[in-house]
């Protein structure tokens, strides 16, 4: 337990110390929120769907949690190249605990980052529909963070260099975001598109967030949560396998 705790604490310490990075990482969500929220607003309204800002805010929150989690997982790449990973790998502790500490730390950081974006959303004019379900929103953020931190650690365990990371960003992480329904409703999508969005774990995260924040959802929130729990568990297992195989 103490191993998991100290590695978790390390991630947190790093987060609180990189203030410039925290501010920088708020830029992208803000851009989406403002450019899309206000830019697409009139079209969305005309289509009879209400306020686009309200609709897109949960998607932007999910996005920031997604990016933050995956990036923390990529941090493994840094640890690996700069030797810190070796320090943990020669320590007399099971590798599973190292992986869990790192992943849970990354997830916690991602949730904190997400909470900052929540604040930004409120400033931009976003309003919660039902305060009673807000704790559920927190739960969904946590689930999204767990899923994608585990994914990040898995990828970080097999990646060798920065080009690989770039490739993963473009061909995995960006598609996960754009195909999740974060930016558009999932109703009346073309058949193929609809099938693809259903295979994207973030879809259920966004849907769950939306249901708890603005009371609008495509699936049953309980189903959303279940899918996320299952995917997170599978990815944690995959991640620990891959992590155990790391050779430095």
Q: Tell me how far apart the alpha carbons of residues 8 and 105 are, in angstroms, rounded to a whole number.
A: 4
Distance CA 193, CA 176 (A): 13
Work out which of 27, 46, 48, 87 binds another protein, going by CB under 8 A: 87
Asked if 93 touches another protein (CB under 8 A), the answer is yes
Per rule CB under 8 A, is residue 2 in the interface with another protein? yes
Pairwise CA distance, residues 246 & 248, whole Å: 7
Listed ranges 119-127, 141-149, 158-166, 223-231: which one lies at the site for another protein (CB under 8 A): 158-166
* Closer CB to another protein, 93 or 242, in the complex: 93
Q: Does 96 bind another protein (CB under 8 A)?
A: no
Total residues at interface with another protein (CB under 8 A): 34
Report if residue 72 touches another protein, rule: CB under 8 A: no
Is residue 90 a contact residue for another protein (CB under 8 A)?
yes
Cα 148 from Cα 146, distance rounded (Å): 6
Q: Of the candidates 42, 50, 78, 237, which one interacts with another protein according to CB under 8 A?
A: 78
Give exposure, 231-242, as e/b (b: 16+ Cβ within 10 Å).
Answer: bbeebbeebbeb
DSSP states along 204-233? HHHHHHHHHHHS--SS-HHHHHHHHHHHHH
10 counts as binding another protein under rule CB under 8 A: yes
Nearer to another protein, 79 or 200 (CB): 79
Q: Is 169 in the site for another protein (CB under 8 A)?
A: no
Does 158 sit near another protein (CB under 8 A)? no
Instruction: Round to whole Å and give the CA distance between 165 and 119.
Output: 30
In Å, how far are 18, 83, 174, 204 from 223, measured between CA atoms? 36, 42, 24, 8
27 near another protein (CB under 8 A): no
Would you tell me which residues interact with another protein (CB under 8 A)? Answer: 2-3, 5-7, 10, 13-14, 17-18, 20-21, 24, 77-78, 81-94, 160-162, 247-248
């Amino acid at each position: 337990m103490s191993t998991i705790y100290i590695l978790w604490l390390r991630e947190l310490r790093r987060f609180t110390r990189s203030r410039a990075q925290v501010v920088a990482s708020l830029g992208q969500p803000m851009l989406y929120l403002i450019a899309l929220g206000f830019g697409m607003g009139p079209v969305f309204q005309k289509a009879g769907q209400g306020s686009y800002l309200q609709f897109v805010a949960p998607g932007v929150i999910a996005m920031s949690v997604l990016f933050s989690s995956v990036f923390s997982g990529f941090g493994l790449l840094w640890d690996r190249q700069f030797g810190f990973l070796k320090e943990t790998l020669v320590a007399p502790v099971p590798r599973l605990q190292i992986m869990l500490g790192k992943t849970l730390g990354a997830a916690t950081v991602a949730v904190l980052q997400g909470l900052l974006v929540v604040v930004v959303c409120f400033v931009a004019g976003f309003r919660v529909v039902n305060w009673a379900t807000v704790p559920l929103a927190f739960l969904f953020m946590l689930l999204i963070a767990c899923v994608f931190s585990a994914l990040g650690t898995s990828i970080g365990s097999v990646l060798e260099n920065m080009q690989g990371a770039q490739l993963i960003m473009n061909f995995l992480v960006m598609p996960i975001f754009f195909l999740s329904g974060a930016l558009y409703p999932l109703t009346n999508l073309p058949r193929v598109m609809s099938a693809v969005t259903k295979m994207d774990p973030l879809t259920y995260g966004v849907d769950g967030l939306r249901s708890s924040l603005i009371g609008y959802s495509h699936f049953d929130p309980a189903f959303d949560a279940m899918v996320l729990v299952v995917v997170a568990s599978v990815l944690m297992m995959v991640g620990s396998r891959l992590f155990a195989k790391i050779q430095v």
